[in-house]
Amino acid sequence: MYHYLEHQKGSNTNEDPILYENFMQRIENGDKIEANDWMPSEYRDTLIKLISMHGISEIMGALPEKEWVPKAPSLERKLAIMAKVQDEMGHGQLLLRVTEDLMKPYGRNRQHLMEDLLSGRLKFHNVFHMPTKTWADAGMVGWLVDGAAIISQTNMLDASYGPYQRALQRICKEEVFHAQHGESIIMALAEGTDAQQKILQDSLNRWWPSLLMFFGPASAETTGSSKQEITIKYNIRKSTNEELRQAFLDKYMPRVFSLGLTVPDETMHYDDVQEKWIYQQPDWNEFKQIIQNKGPRSKERLKVREIAYSNNSWVREALAVAGGDRP
Amino acid sequence: MDKRNEALLDLLYQCADDDLLVSFRGSEWLGLAPHVEADVAFSSITQNTMGHAVYFYRLLQELGEGDVDVLAHERPALKRRNAIYLEKRNGDGQYDEDPYFDWALAVVRGYFYETYKRVKLISLTASSYEPLAICAKRILPEQRYHLAYWKEWMKQLQQSSPIAREKIRTRIEEAWSQSLDLFDFGQYEQTLLNEGYITDPLELKQQWLAELQSTVKDLPSRPLEQLKNGRNGEHTTDLDVALATLSEVYQTDPVAQW
C-alpha cells in the first residue's frame, strides 16, 4: 500500500556495460522485466528495498486497524473491516512472494525479512507507527490513508518490474474498495451525533501530519535522503513525492471541506497562480524519528508482531517436520 | 408465549451465539496466525462464520426479537446461549497488546466445533421450521471447507514434532472437560425434539464422535464434561470480557447510526 521513498546509497553499477545498455534500452522501450531476466544490482536492490518495505508495511498496517476489528460497532462493520484487514494481509503475502524471488540470488527468504523487521533493519511505513485511538481512526485509515496509498500506487501501475506491476494492479483495485469502506464509516460519523462528529474531527486533526508525511519529503535536502531519482530512472515510478502529495490534496481537500471538516493548518489553501496547494510542512525531524521505530506506537506494534512470530514458532517448526504444504 | 415458539427462539439463540463467539475469537486472531497464508484462510472462515451468526440473528429478528445488532451487542451474559468452550479466550494476553495466543487451541477448537456444526446443520436441514432448514442448507456448502481446513491442521500437527503433538493432546484433554454443553439444547430440549426442530443431541454426539475418531489419535475414553452449561445462560468471565470488547464502540451510543 505504502511508499514514500527513502534513503538509498547509489549501488555501484559495476556491471557489464553491454548488458546494462541492453537493460536500459528495455526500460526505455517500456518492456516489463521479469524475475529471471538479467538486471543490474542497483535495480534489484532498489526493488527489494521498495517491495519488501511495501509488503512488510501491509502486514504491519494490519495491526492499527485490527485493533478495532473485534470492536467494530455493528455486525456489518465488523464483517467489512475484517475483510479489509484480511485484504491487507493478502497484499503482504503477494508482495513478500515478489520480494522472495528477487532475493533468491542472495540466499534470503521471508523469514529473513521478518527477522529484519523485528531487529529494526527493515522499516515500515510512517502511518503505521501511529495510534488508532477511536473508531473514527479506523475509518480515517481506510479513507485517507488508503486514499493516499491509491495515489502513490497508481503512480507505479506501469512499473518496469512485471511481477510488482501485476501485483499492484490487483492491490489497487482492492484499495479502491477499502477507500470506499473508510468513506462509508466517515460519512456515518459526519452525519451522526455531535459526539460522533467530534471523534471524527479529532481523528483528522491527529492524522493530518501523518497524511502529509505519507508521501515522504519533497527532496533529499529535507531529511538528507531520497531515492526517488533512482526509481524514476528505472521507470519504477513516474511522479515525485511532492507531485503525489499535491494530487492527494487535489482529490481529498474538497471532500474534507464538503463534509464540514477542517484541517489543523490555517495556512492551507490552493494558490491559483502557482497552481498548487500551500500547506505547512509537517515536522520532518519527527518523521525521521518515526521511521526509525521511534514513533508513538512503534514499540508496541513491533512487540505484538514479535510475540505472534515467536509464540507461533513451534507451528512453523512442526510444519517443517510434517513436511506437508502449509494447510 | 407458546412453548413451541420459546423453544424455537432458544435454539436460534444457541446457533447464533455459538457462531458469534467463534467468529469473535477468530477476529482476535486476525494478523497473528503462524504464517500469512493461515491468516488469510482463517479470516475467510471467520467472516463466513460471522455471516452465519448474522443469518441466525436475522431469523430471530423476523420472529420479532429485535434488530440483529441489538441481539448481538446488547444482551447480557445471562441471556447468551453459546456453549462455554466457544467463549474460552484464545490463550494468554490481550489481542492488541500481548497476544500469547495458542494455535493448538485454535486448531482443536476449530476442528471440534466445525465437526459439531456440520452434524448439527445436517440435522437442521430437516427441521420442521422451514426458514431454519433453508438456512442450514445455505450454510452447509461453505461450512464444509471450514471443517476441511481445521481437519488438515489436526492431521498435520498430530503427525509432527513432539511439541506439536503434546500441545494438541493437552488441548484435546481440555476440550473434553469443557464441551459437553455443545450437546445440550437447553431447557426446551424436549419440546425441540417433539416438534421436529432438531435431532436428539445424543445422536448428534455419536456422529460427532465417529468423525473425531477417524481423525484424532488417542481420543479420551472418558465421557465429555462441562464446567458450566452455556445453554442455560451460565458463563465464564471470558464471555464478560468478550462482550465488553465486542460492544465497546456500540455501547458508547446504542441508538446512533454507525
pLDDT at B2: 87
* pLDDT over 70 at A2, yes or no: no
Please count the residue pairs, one from chain A and one from chain B, whose beta carbons lie less than 8 angstroms apart.
Answer: 156
* pLDDT tens per residue across span A96-147: 999 999 999 999 999 999 999 999 999 999 999 999 999 999 999 999 999 9
Handedness of CA B247, B251, B252, B255 (dihedral sign): positive
Q: Name the residue with higher pLDDT: A2 or B27.
A: B27
Contact call for A326 and B98, based on CB within 8 A = no
CB contact under 8 A, B31 and A326: no
Nearest-neighbour CA in chain B from A225: distance (Å): 32
pLDDT score recorded for residue B242:
98
Measured CA to CA, the distance from residue A41 to residue A322 in angstroms comes to: 37
Per-residue confidence (pLDDT) for residue A207, from 0 to 100: 97
Write down the pLDDT at residue A23.
97
User: What are the residues whose beta carbons fall under 8 Å from the beta carbon of B249, sequence distance 6 or more?
Assistant: A68, A71, A72, A73, A135, B258
Please tell me whether residue A259 adopts helix, strand or coil conformation.
coil
Cβ-in-10-Å burial (0-12, 13-18, 19+) of B212 comes to: middle
Q: What residues in A contact B50, CB-CB < 8 Å?
A: 75, 78-79, 82
At residue A324 the predicted structure's pLDDT band, cuts being 50, 70 and 90, is: low
Q: What is the pLDDT of residues A3-35, one digit of tens each?
A: 454 444 444 556 899 999 999 999 999 999 999
Is there a contact between B160 and A308 if contact means CB atoms under 8 Å apart? no
- Residues of A with CB below 8 A from B69's CB? 74-75
pLDDT for A7 equals: 41
Residue pair B71/B64 in contact (Cβ under 8 Å)? The answer is no
Which residue from B49, B18, B224, B45 is spatially nearest to B152, judged by alpha carbons?
A: B45
Range B140-158 average pLDDT = 97
Cβ contact A82–B46 (<8 Å): yes
Give the pLDDT confidence score for residue A6 in this predicted structure.
45
The architecture CATH gives domain B3-252: Up-down Bundle (1.20)
Mutate: best of B43, B150, B171, B245, partner A, most A CBs <10 A: B43
pLDDT value of residue A224: 54
Tell which residue, B115, B122, B183, B125, has the closest CA to residue B146. B115
Q: Tens digit of pLDDT for each residue in A273-288? A: 999 999 999 999 999 9
pLDDT in tens, A170-225: 999 999 999 999 999 999 999 999 999 999 999 999 999 999 999 999 886 665 55
Measured between beta carbons, which residues in chain A are less than 8 angstroms from residue B36? 59, 89-90, 92-93, 96
Confidence of residue A226 (pLDDT cuts 50, 70, 90): low
Task: Domain ranges for chain B, please list them.
Answer: 3-252
* Chain A residues in contact with B257 (beta carbon < 8 A): 188, 191-192
Region of A4 (left: φ > 0; alpha: ψ -120 to 50; beta: rest) is beta
Tens digits of per-residue pLDDT, B213-222?
999 988 999 9
Average pLDDT (A242-254) is 97
Instruction: Tell me which chain B residues have a C-beta less than 8 angstroms from the C-beta of A181.
Output: none
pTM for the predicted model, two decimal places? 0.94
Does the ipTM surpass 0.85? Answer: yes
Report CB contact under 8 Å: B164, A63: no
Please name the residue ranges forming H helices in chain A: 17-29, 41-66, 75-103, 110-119, 135-140, 146-154, 162-190, 194-213, 220-223, 228-233, 241-258, 284-289, 298-311, 313-322
The strand pair at B91-92 and B100-101 is best described as antiparallel
Nearest CA in chain A to B148: A327
CB contact under 8 A, B250 and A300: no
Range A17-322 classified under CATH 3.30.470.20? no
The CA distance from A244 to A146, in Å, is 14
Q: What is the pLDDT of residue A225?
A: 54
pLDDT at B132 over 50: yes
For a pLDDT cut of 70, what percent of chain A falls above it?
92
- DSSP H stretches of helix in chain B: 3-29, 36-62, 68-73, 84-87, 103-124, 130-158, 162-178, 189-194, 201-215, 237-246, 248-252
Q: Specify which residues A70 forms β-bridges with.
A: none
